[in-house]
Amino acid sequence: MMSLQQQLRRRLLFTLSITLLGLVVLQHLGARSLGNAYLDERLQHDAQSLIAALERNNNTWQLNPERLGGLWQRVHSGHYYEIWPLQNPAQRLISRSLWDEKPLWPNINGSRDLHHNGHPWRIYGETFSKQGADFQLFVAEDIQAFEQRRWLYSLGATLLVLLAMGLLLFSQHLLLKRSFRKLDNLRQHLAALRLGETLPDTPALPAEIQPLLAEIQRLLNQLQQRVMSSRNALGNLAHGLKQPLQQLRNEAAHNPALLPLSQALEQLIERELKRARIVGMSSPGRQTRLAAELPALQQVLMKIYPHCHIQLDIPPAGEMPHDRDDMLELLGNLLDNACKYGAGEVQLHITQQAQGWQINVEDNGPGIPPAQRAAALNRGTRLDEQQPGSGLGLAICADIVSRYGGSIELSEAASGGLNVRIELPG
């Protein structure tokens, strides 16, 4: 789909092209109109000079040579005239410059273009009366050189307009690029809000964008409050259901039909209690600061499992761009399983790679046989019936990893226990 910047650039290019094309056409028409007006004025002036030089001598009309310029006398000089009395067209007065040329004069009173022997002419025709006699006058000028100069002028003007168009397009490109670069601040600000952060200062954005940013921030705050309330309510509900669940378990001891229902409710409640214990106060949307969050999780689990020693190997300033609550639930379940089924030594390794993040949790317990590792990721599967639990730990981890488009793999650790390796994009 075409971006807004491309759409604006295309529309501006179209508008600018049409405008400049119109300017080119106008300058061409204007140059031609001005040129023709100049030629017509000069031809009319020549016509008035010829009329003034026309004299009658013994009933014969002739032009006074003292009033004529040399251009009329030079052969093919480019300036021509022809005059004849309407009562006697045979008595023609023809300029010497015409020599043996016999142009076909149109019947006009005014100016127009005429092509004669491959040359462009501008002619002026007029019918006038002098001393009771009527005459037809034609004045012509060869404008080939003038047309060449006019064409060169039009070409230069067109090139100048094209150069101006190029400069305008370049300026337009820079202006759009600079204007849309300001929207990068909006993208960074929204990314920070998505991760639960707030930039110290409001980014420099156009006034039209500021209300949109404010509305998005209010919407995110509202969604965050709703998610926090929902998660906290689930934790409180799980705590409140513990006593009724115990009563149901007692009833299931006398009524086996209630046993599946009791187990299903126990799994759900255990998950929410574990989540509330691991995550603590909900703060959805925040990225995971490993150095700040994991030591507290380590202390919680070592209090639950006093016999267990958890070793952390994490980047000192690492920040995973994933939801804090999801990552704490993921790591909490992995470490909880390692403490529960291991022999007291648990190692957590987190490394940042070019394509994302890698998480490895190792323990020194008995591990899981290769044939049973795929089943261990299924919800509700318990491979060790001696330990309390619902078989949700690794299944919860697999669900979280799947939501982020990652992968989870079970293998044998160097110590002989279980190694859980997770790859997360980002």
Separation in Å, CA 10 to CA 3, 16, 17, 180, 355: 11, 10, 10, 15, 36
Any idea which residue has 């488009």 for tokens? 405
Same domain, 355 and 374: yes
Mean pLDDT calculated for residue range 401-425: 90
Q: Is residue 172 part of a domain?
A: no
Find the domain containing 51 and state its range.
Answer: 4-149
Both tokens assigned to 248: 């149901």
Looking at every residue in the chain, the average pLDDT score rounds to 81
Question: Residue by residue, what is the 3-state secondary structure of 141-186?
Answer: EECHHHHHHHHHHHHHHHHHHHHHHHHHHHHHHHHHHHHHHHHHHH
Q: Are residues 257 and 314 in the same domain?
A: no
Q: Are residues 182 and 205 in contact, defined by beta-carbon separation less than 8 angstroms?
A: yes
Task: Report the pLDDT value the prediction gives residue 37, as an integer from 0 to 100.
Answer: 92
Residue 190 lies in a domain: no
CATH code of the domain containing 130: 3.30.450
Q: To which H or E segment does residue 246 belong?
A: helix 242-254
pLDDT tens digits, one per residue of 107-143: 888 999 999 888 999 999 999 999 889 999 999 999 9
Predicted pLDDT at 253: 74
pLDDT at 197: 57
- pLDDT bin (cut points 50, 70, 90) of residue 383 is very low
pLDDT at 416 over 70: yes
Q: Is the pLDDT of residue 381 over 60?
A: no
Based on the fold, state whether residues 313 and 250 are members of the same structural domain.
no
Which range has highest mean pLDDT (220-234, 251-265, 329-343)?
Answer: 329-343
Mean pLDDT across the stretch 295-307? 88
Structure tokens at 401: 């990893």
Same domain, 291 and 275: no
- Judged against a pLDDT cut of 80, whether residue 165 lies above it is answered with yes
Among candidate residues 242, 261, 279, the one where a domain is terminated: 279
CATH classification of the domain holding 413: 3.30.565.10
Do residues 265 and 364 share a domain? Answer: no
In a domain? residue 189 = no
pLDDT at 108: 87
Evaluate if residue 340 carries a pLDDT over 80: yes
- In this structure, the answer to whether residues 224 and 310 fall within a common structural domain is no
* Structure-block tokens of residue 168: 């305008």
- Cα atoms in the 13 Å half-sphere on the side-chain side of 141: 20
Task: Reply yes or no on whether the pLDDT at 282 is more than 50.
Answer: no
C-alpha 87, offset from chain centre: 80
The answer to whether position 201 is within a domain reads: no
Inter-residue contact 167 to 145 (CB < 8 Å): no
Whether the pLDDT of residue 176 is over 50: the answer is yes
Residue 387 has pLDDT above 60, yes or no: no
Out of 114-118, 373-377, 381-385, which region has the weakest mean confidence (pLDDT)? 381-385
Domains contained in the chain, number: 3
**Residue 19 and residue 55 share a domain:** yes
The answer to whether position 136 is within a domain reads yes
Q: Is residue 170 part of a domain?
A: no
What is the per-residue pLDDT for 20?
Answer: 84
Kind of pairing between the strands at 288-289 and 133-142? unpaired
Residue 294 CA to residue 254 CA, distance in Å, equals 44
Give the Cα separation of 44 and 24 in Å (integer). Answer: 30
Pair 246, 299 in one domain = no
Cβ proximity of 144 and 120 under 8 Å:
yes
Task: Note whether residue 158 is domain-resident.
Answer: no
In this predicted model, which residue has the larger pLDDT, 267 or 406?
Answer: 406
pLDDT digits (tens, 9 = 90+) for 200-245: 455 566 677 778 777 877 776 777 677 666 666 666 666 666 667 6
Are 273 and 306 found together in one domain?
no
User: Do 61 and 80 fall within a single domain?
Assistant: yes
Contact by Cβ (8 Å): 300, 278 = yes
187: in domain:
no
| CA angle, residues 273, 279, 285, in degrees to nearest 5 | 130
Instruction: Please check whether residues 226 and 140 belong to one and the same domain.
Output: no
Note the pLDDT of residue 388: 44
- Residue where a domain stops, chosen among 241, 259, 279: 279
Do 377 and 324 share a structural domain? yes
State the pLDDT confidence band at 348, using cuts at 50, 70 and 90.
very high
> What pLDDT was estimated at residue 73?
85
* Structural domain ending residue among the three candidates 279, 301, 335: 279
Task: Point out the least confidently predicted range of 87-91, 141-145, 290-294, 393-397.
Answer: 393-397
